Amino acid sequence: MKALTLRICLIMAGLFWCSLVLAQENSVQPYYGDVNVTASGLKELTNESVPLVANVYINGRFVGTTPYMDGLPGGEYQIRVEANGDSRLYPINVIPGKNCSVDALLTVPISDEERVAVQRRKDEAAARRQAEQLKAFQPVIEAWKREDAAVQQKRKSLLTASGLLLASGTVMTIAGIVFAVKFNRQDDNYQSALSQFEQATAPEDIEANRDYLQGLQTDKKRNRIFAGIFISAGITAVVTSLVLMGITPKRPKRPDAPFEYSAISFRAMPFAATGAGGISLAATF
C-alpha cells in the first residue's frame, strides 16, 4: 500500500514538473518574423497585368527570386525587387512573430511590334471617337453654316453700301472744300476789282470793270452754293456710312472653335474706296 502511494506521488510530481516546463517554454517571446515578397508586372502603354519573376535583395544582398518567403530577425530592412531593368525599394520593419508582406509592381517593357500595334489601336479608337463626335455634332454645324451664310449676306450688303457712301461722301466733301477755296479767291479778286472800279474815271474803264465785277459776283454766288451743297451732302454720306458700319452684325462663332476672320475683311472696303476716291479727286483737280 505504501509502495502504491509512493508511485502515485512520483507520477503527480512528474506531471507537475512537465507542466512547469511547458509553461516556461510558452512564455518565451519569438525571435523571427516571416517576410513574404511577391511581384507582378504592368505592361507599358497597355497597363496589362502579367505574372513576373523578379530578383529580391535584402539590404543590398541577393537572396532569391519571387515568390520569396523567409524568416528574419526583428528590425528594419530595405527590400529591393528588380526585373527587366526596373526596380522598387521597400523599407520594412520586421516584428517578431508577425508576417510582413511586400507586393511589388514593376513595369514590363514591350517590343517594338507591340508598341506599334498599341499605337495603331489608339489611333483607330481616337479616329472612331472623333467620327462619332462629328456625326453627333453635324446638326449644330449645319445650323451654324446657315446662320453664318445669312449673316455674311447681310454684312456684304451693309458694308458695300457703307463703303460706297464713305467714298462718295469723302469725294463730295473734298469737292465742296475746293469750291469754298475758289469762293475765297474770287472774293479777294472781287474786292480788288471793286477798288479799281471806284478809282476808274474813263467811261470805257468803268464799263469794263462793271462787267468784270458782275461776272465775279455771279461766280462767287455759284461757288458758294456748290460748296454748301457738296459739303453738306458729303458729311451726310460719311455719317450714314459710319451708322451702317455700326449696325453691321458680327459673324457667329463656330461652335467647336473660335472663328478666325481672314486678313482682308469687308471692313477694309470703305477705307479702300475712300483711298480710291481721294486719288481720283486729286487727279481731277
Does residue 277 sit in the same domain as residue 154? yes
**Do the bridges between strand 61-65 and strand 75-83 make them parallel or antiparallel, or are there none, so unpaired?**
unpaired
Identify whether 246 is part of a domain: yes
State the pLDDT at residue 235.
Answer: 92
Length of the chain: 285
State the pLDDT at residue 90.
Answer: 93
Does residue 183 sit in the same domain as residue 258? yes
Identify whether 9 is part of a domain: no
List phi, psi (to 5°) of 261: -75, 150
State the pLDDT at residue 274.
Answer: 46
| Model pLDDT for residues 83-120, shown as the tens digit of each residue | 988 889 999 999 888 899 999 988 888 777 877 887 88
Does residue 107 sit in the same domain as residue 184? no
Q: DSSP readout, 243-265?
A: HHHHHPPPPPPPTTSPPPPPSS-
Report in angstroms the alpha-carbon separations of 228 from 135, 184, 186, 278, 285.
63, 13, 16, 19, 19
Does residue 191 sit in the same domain as residue 252? yes
Does residue 107 sit in the same domain as residue 208? no
State the pLDDT at residue 68.
Answer: 92
Query: Residue 105 in contact with residue 43, Cβ under 8 Å?
Result: no
236 is written with which cell numbers?
A: 451726310
Residues of the chain with pLDDT under 50: 27-28, 257-285
The domain that holds 39 is classified in CATH as 2.60.40.10
Q: Which domain holds residue 92?
A: 30-112
| Model pLDDT for residues 99-108, shown as the tens digit of each residue | 999 999 888 8
State the pLDDT at residue 275.
Answer: 46
Does residue 165 sit in the same domain as residue 272? yes
Does residue 164 sit in the same domain as residue 279? yes
State the pLDDT at residue 18.
Answer: 61
Q: Which of 28, 52, 53 is nearest to 42 (CA)?
A: 52
Q: Please tell me whether residue 52 adopts helix, strand or coil conformation.
A: coil
Query: Residue 107 in contact with residue 82, Cβ under 8 Å?
Result: no
